[in-house]
Amino acid sequence: MKREKRLTLRAETQEWVSVAQKTAAIVGKLPEETANEILDFARFLSVMSHLRNGKVRSQTISLQQA
C-alpha cells in the first residue's frame, strides 16, 4: 500500500508544507535534550509501526542506539 504524504497549505506563501517540515521546525526550536527525547520517541513509533506491518524481524530491532 502506498503511503500518502500529508501536507498543509502555508498561508503566507501558498506552498504545501509536509509533516516532516512542520516537525523539524518545531523540534528545531526545542532545547537539545528535549529534541533528543522527541527523536527517541519517533524512533520508537517507527519500530512499532514496522512491527505491526511485519516489515522488521525481531532479531534486528534495537531501541538503543550504539
**pTM check: above 0.75:** no
Burial zone of 52 (CB within 10 Å; 0-12 exposed, 13-18 middle, 19+ buried): exposed
Q: How far apart (Å, rounded) are the C-alpha atoms in residues 45 and 30? A: 20
Query: Among 25, 64, 26, 29, which residue's Cα sits nearest to residue 44?
Result: 64
Cβ atoms within 10 Å, residue 41? 10
Q: Tens of pLDDT along 17-65?
A: 888 999 999 999 999 999 999 999 999 999 998 888 886 555 555 555 5
* CA dist., res. 58 & res. 56, Å (int): 6
Q: What is the pLDDT of residue 29?
A: 95
